[in-house]
Structure 1
Amino acid sequence: MNFDLLKSMVDLVQQFIEQNEGKCIYSNDLQGFTEWLNVSHKNDSIEEPDWFGKELGRSSDSIINTLLIRMGRYAKIYSRSIGNSVFSSQDDFIYLISLKTMGAMTKMELIRHNVTEKSSGMLIINRLIRNGWAEQTICLKDKRKKYIQITENGLIVLEQHREEIRKASRVVVGNLNPSEQMLLIAILSKLDEFHDSFYRLHMNSNDLLDVVFKKLN
């Protein structure tokens, strides 16, 4: 029996379980494992693409950072049409969706979850409360703790504009086929998990950049 091959297969199954746990991107069976395997190892044969400034020495790090910023800006532009500007920004419905899916959170938990600066996050939360889409409640077990939760009106406004929000999300994905979407989810999830671990520990630190940079080196 080839034990090295068997060990490699076990390691791959472990990677599949860890990456798919809690996300349910793939079904937890042989078919799901095969799809994950095809997507996660597809990049092994991908040729290095060209990008603007490459011939002048522009690095892959630089173009990836620029493209991620551009995608965020495209998403922001598309979101402006949702509900004929009933939302002041895409952060309004993103915060509401977070409260709907995850339940009540403290202000800082909500801000951290959406990777927002504290000052900007507080403005968003206050705006949601002012519009009657969210409310602040006091914890019964510990009256020092206050939580933000979505209101009935908040649920209604999300439902009213659900199709528009989905349309904006679909447009951002653009012309990616299903396999490319799965590959992108896997890559972005890996990046998000990496950065989130540092962000939660050092979000208020001026040394966050140096902390992460040292980890990479």
Structure 2
Amino acid sequence: MSDNLNLLRNIIDYLESYQNEVGNFDLREFSIYLKDRVLNSEKQSTSGSFNTNNFSNYKQYQEVEFSTLLTGLYRFAKHYSKKAFANTSINSIDEFGFLATLLKDGTLLKNELINKNLIEISSGSEIIKRLTKGGFIDEIADEKDKRAKRINISEKGRIEIMKAFAEMHKVSEIVIGNLDSAEITEALSIFNKLTFYHNHIHETDRNSNLNELHSKYVSSRK
């Protein structure tokens, strides 16, 4: 009960500050005000340097909590995806991604297909082997370079990917959870910004080691 009372007192204090600063009361505006004040307060109290001895309180480091939550969301999505593929011949989200990319972009070089799906060459090659063996894709010689292989989705692959689309749409609806339309729009804006940022790193510095990446993209902006 004491925790509830302390929480209520904190909310009342924020409410009084809101009324003094804004002058009117609107529940939606107050919720935004409260969110900004609480998050800003947490951000200001966060230490500028990461302390490895304080790993149990990782939530005080926004970048660590963000990465942890993002990884967890990916695992949830991966779990739901397995259920979506239960009634198809597709076995993984990576196989689905390869087929969806070919359906959208048409014939691609082997390396192009792998790079578009952000997968290591060795892992991507194994996925291509499985899809070829299953009859979902065809490998053909490139007209300009006979040594290179182009990948094309087969009719069987088209049938399977179309079957999976309906189930994957259900997955998408589950993944967005209880976000409203405005929150989804805001999240998409943030994720698109991050995707553009990391695509640039992937295209220009994918072979750099972690310290080189940190020095170039993190330390340089502090």
Alignment of 1:121-200 (within 5 A): 121-200=124-203
Structure 2 partner of 1:26? none
Distance 1:110 1:212, change over 3 A: farther
Q: Which runs of 5+ in 1 are unaligned?
A: 1-42
Could you tell me whether the CA contact under 8 Å between 2:85 and 2:91 is conserved in 1?
Answer: no
Query: What is the RMSD computed on CA atoms of the aligned residues?
Result: 2.6
Could you tell me whether the CA contact under 8 Å between 2:141 and 2:147 is conserved in 1?
Answer: yes
1:30-62: CA deviation from partner (whole Å, max 9, x where unpaired) = xxxxxxxxxxxxx999524499xx894721101
Q: Secondary structure at the match of 2:183?
A: helix
Structure 2 partner of 1:11? none
Q: Secondary structure at the match of 1:161?
A: helix
1:11-46: CA deviation from partner (whole Å, max 9, x where unpaired) = xxxxxxxxxxxxxxxxxxxxxxxxxxxxxxxx9995
Could you tell me whether the CA contact under 8 Å between 1:100 and 1:150 is conserved in 2?
Answer: yes
Q: Which runs of 5+ in 2 are unaligned?
A: 1-31, 47-55
Structure 1 partner of 2:83? 81
Structure 2 partner of 1:99? 102
1:42-86: CA deviation from partner (whole Å, max 9, x where unpaired) = x999524499xx894721101110111001000110011123263
1:136-155: CA deviation from partner (whole Å, max 9, x where unpaired) = 11122332332112111110
Structure 2 counterpart of 1:79, which letter? S
Structure 2 counterpart of 1:72, which letter? Y
Distance 2:135 2:220 in 1: 43
Q: Secondary structure at the match of 2:60?
A: coil
Alignment of 1:60-75 (within 5 A): 60-75=62-77
Distance 1:153 1:63, change over 3 A: same
Aligned counterpart for 1:59 among listed residues 58, 61, 69? 61
Q: Which structure has the greater CA radius of gyration?
A: 2
Structure 1 counterpart of 2:213, which letter? L
1:95-114: CA deviation from partner (whole Å, max 9, x where unpaired) = 11111112222222122211
Q: Secondary structure at the match of 2:167?
A: helix
How far does residue 129 in structure 1 lie from its aligned partner after superposition? 1.1
TM-score, normalised relative to structure 2: 0.69
Higher helix fraction: Structure 1 or Structure 2?
2
Structure 2 counterpart of 1:175, which letter? N
Question: Which moves more between the two structures, 201-210 or 70-79?
Answer: 201-210
Figure out how many residues of one structure are paired with residues of the other and give that number. 173
Could you tell me whether the CA contact under 8 Å between 1:112 and 1:200 is conserved in 2?
Answer: no
TM-score, normalised relative to structure 1: 0.70
How far does residue 179 in structure 1 lie from its aligned partner after superposition? 1.3
